[in-house]
Amino acid sequence: MANGTTTTIPHDSGHESGHEKPQRSFFGLIKRPQQGCHPVIDWLTTVDHKKIGIMYGCAALLFLIVGGVEALLIRAQLFLPQNDFVSARLYNQLFTMHGTTMIFLAVMPLNAAFFNYMMILQIGARDVAFPRLNAFSLWTFVAGAVLINLSWFWEAFHGGWFGYAPLSSKDYNPGMGADFWILSLQILGVASLAASFNFITTILNMRAPGLKMMRLPVFTWMTLITSFLIILAFPAITIALVQLMFDRHFGTHFFDATFGGKPILWQHLFWIFGHPEVYILILPAMGIVSEVLPTFSRKPLFGYPLIVMSGAFIGFLGFAVWSHHMFTVGLGVVATIAFSLMTMLIAIPTGVKIFNWIGTLWGGKISFTTPMLYSLGFIWMFMMGGFTGIMHSSVPVDHQQQDSYFVVAHFHYVLIGGALFALFSGLYYWMPKMSGKMMNEIWGRFNFWVMFFGFNLAFFPMHLLGMAGMPRRTHTYLGDMGWNVWNAWSTVGALILGVGIGSTVIQVIYTCFKGQKCGGDPWDARTLEWATTSPPKEYNYTRIPEIHARDQVWADKYGKPEEKSGPGVPEPHGIHMPDRSWYPLSASLGLFLFGLGFVFHNQNFLGWDHQLQMAFIGGGILFLSIFLWALEGPRGYHIHPEAD
């Protein structure tokens, strides 16, 4: 350590003892990594929320590029009518994997990256409640992501990210693609659930003294609400996927109409998950924007309680509107009317947020930094996506727009113009905190304008295509439908958007190595994460501060004397840091093999006539890892940053 001294402790007892025999893992086969271990081992076994957050972020950016390339291939195919750049099957695989990748492997982990890194700092904690579980979430996410992308080497799923039965059943989709997809989503679900329980526990229990719930930064609030949405929504898709797997392999006929099953059941279960999932993607984005706007307007967030409450209200209503994805499947009159009106109701809390963001700008002193541009762009495009959302809530309008390119335009306005722009806002805003280095402003603004222009060129024409009758998920179209020009422009726009995103990713990498160094609070910001150094030390705060105001860092700089934070109490025995552990990684590896084994049930795996052996091996590793994990204890060591 640069400053302070370190001592190791045998158990999580708080008692210090200098020279304890280092613990060993896997029945003594391998040393439990200690301070100063090899960097590769350090990253593989870390329990530090900041390193885990960075790994989530790197993986998310990687898969953003993978999903982006898939999107560009789709657009290349649609550039011309009756094009044969890719085959119908490959096109269907591309849009299936594009949707799955962007939702589960790009936007959700990018959210998780900021939850991990920033939320902990914002509540003045040293780490999450369960650091090893946090590492397990990360590696399990990686396991699911690798598994689903491995499918490209055998057969990628071609049933859409929504996997509607009976098209996804064994009868109509006999290949392994569906099994890859089912098992990967199950594994990704485990990762999301574990992370969410961890975040909820952390936010509820590990806030700094004085940090009441109504003083929490909005981003932390949105982390909390999103985590609740995940633990309530994911069980629905877990059940649906289990039923689909049973239908495919064990003849259960949940969704098989010939045997009295109901295809509509899949849709209900999928969208009970799928609609809250939309808010799982967008609420963190709203949280980021609610941090960035006040900072660069130099004013507190307008109507903080209402913003928090509307976030919770959106989350709550999100579970009551799933059937608006199903207005055309033939529901009864009452159900149709109820889901239509409930959907309209969601416009109110969403509108409240937009009004309050404008209220935040009103009367401020606005500086147009890159994060601010991305946040303003977010409001603009999210507003447009919201307006087309109101259109879909009207059933007669939806009968024409459902499954047309109008819907594609709508949700890309919400998920790129909304979620991705806000996440990039967060990236530019928090990169100095995470790396200690500033992102170049001119480069950043260039990226913003390229993305803004490319995005609108790519997706605005899709509104027109939809109203002109172009259905989604069609790999080709006739040349005399009047769709050619808009499709061509859309492809050009997608390419420009791709350049903007690629340039941003390059800038992130560049900044890590060559960025200009910055201090702890380069933006003159408001919330607690800016109170510590950039990047923070592994223990985050030398002393946990006492909180006396909502925007504590701002209050410390400009507030009344009674709002300034208290000095905090030094830890009596030094700061306890938990040890690194092999078990989260090995448990995830077990889960990966478990999934892979089921995918290759009675299949040939690289020349091996595989039955279920791999699943048994993987399950064994998983079980053993969890067992040993429970026994090893957090252990750890003490840091004394104030000893010098």
Closest CA to 242 of 163, 160, 175, 155: 163
Phi and psi dihedrals of 604, rounded to 5? -90, 120
Q: How far is the CB of 159 from another protein (least distance, A)?
A: 8
Q: How far is the CB of 619 from another protein (least distance, A)?
A: 29
Q: Is 533 in the site for another protein (CB under 8 A)?
A: no
- Concatenating the DSSP letter of every residue in 24-45 gives EETTTTEEPP-TT--HHHHHHH
Q: Hey, which residues between 363 and 422 contact another protein (CB under 8 A)?
A: 363-368, 373, 376, 379-380, 383-384, 387-388, 390-391, 393-404
- Looking at 67, 131, 261, 618, which residue binds another protein (CB under 8 A)? 261
Judged by beta carbon, residue 262 or residue 543, the one nearer another protein is 262
Contacts for 341 with CB less than 8 Å, ≥ 6 apart: none
Q: Hey, which residues between 312 and 351 contact another protein (CB under 8 A)?
A: 328-330, 333, 336-337, 340-341, 344-345, 347-348, 351
Q: Hey, which residues between 475 and 504 contact another protein (CB under 8 A)?
A: 475-478, 480-483
Report whether the peptide linkage leading into residue 166 is cis, meaning its omega lies within 30 degrees of zero: yes
Q: How far is the CB of 95 from another protein (least distance, A)?
A: 9
Q: Is 51 in the site for another protein (CB under 8 A)?
A: no
Judged by beta carbon, residue 322 or residue 582, the one nearer another protein is 322
SS3 129: coil
Where does residue 73 rank: exposed (0-12), middle (13-18), buried (19+ CB within 10 A)? Answer: middle
Judged by beta carbon, residue 304 or residue 592, the one nearer another protein is 304
Judged by beta carbon, residue 378 or residue 629, the one nearer another protein is 378
Judged by beta carbon, residue 204 or residue 485, the one nearer another protein is 485
Q: Is 441 in the site for another protein (CB under 8 A)?
A: no
Q: How far is the CB of 465 from another protein (least distance, A)?
A: 10
Judged by beta carbon, residue 473 or residue 517, the one nearer another protein is 473
Judged by beta carbon, residue 197 or residue 380, the one nearer another protein is 380
Interface stretch with another protein, choices 294-302, 513-521, 532-540, 630-638 (CB under 8 A): 294-302
CA distance 589 to 143: 7
SS3 566: strand
Q: Hey, which residues between 17 and 46 contact another protein (CB under 8 A)?
A: none
Q: Which helix (H) or strand (E) holds 516?
A: strand 516-517
Q: Hey, which residues between 134 and 163 contact another protein (CB under 8 A)?
A: 158-160
Judged by beta carbon, residue 125 or residue 373, the one nearer another protein is 373
Judged by beta carbon, residue 71 or residue 133, the one nearer another protein is 71
CA distance 311 to 220: 12
Judged by beta carbon, residue 431 or residue 555, the one nearer another protein is 555
- Concatenating the DSSP letter of every residue in 213-275 gives GGGS-HHHHHHHHHHHHHHHHHHHHHHHHHHHHHHHHH---SS-GGGT--HHHHHHHHHHHHH
C-alpha gyration radius of the chain: 25
For helices 177-205 and 131-150, angle between their N-to-C axes, nearest 10 degrees: 160
Are the C-beta atoms of residues 118 and 526 closer than 8 Å to each other? no
Q: What is the dihedral of CA 148, 149, 151, 154, to 10 degrees?
A: -170
- Looking at 206, 306, 320, 628, which residue binds another protein (CB under 8 A)? 306
Q: Is 219 in the site for another protein (CB under 8 A)?
A: no
For helices 177-205 and 88-100, angle between their N-to-C axes, nearest 10 degrees: 10
- Looking at 4, 175, 471, 566, which residue binds another protein (CB under 8 A)? 471
Q: Hey, which residues between 229 and 258 contact another protein (CB under 8 A)?
A: 257-258
Per-residue tokens: 498: 């791709």
CB atoms closer than 10 angstroms to residue 153 = 8
Q: Hey, which residues between 77 and 116 contact another protein (CB under 8 A)?
A: 87-89, 92
Q: How far is the CB of 297 from another protein (least distance, A)?
A: 7
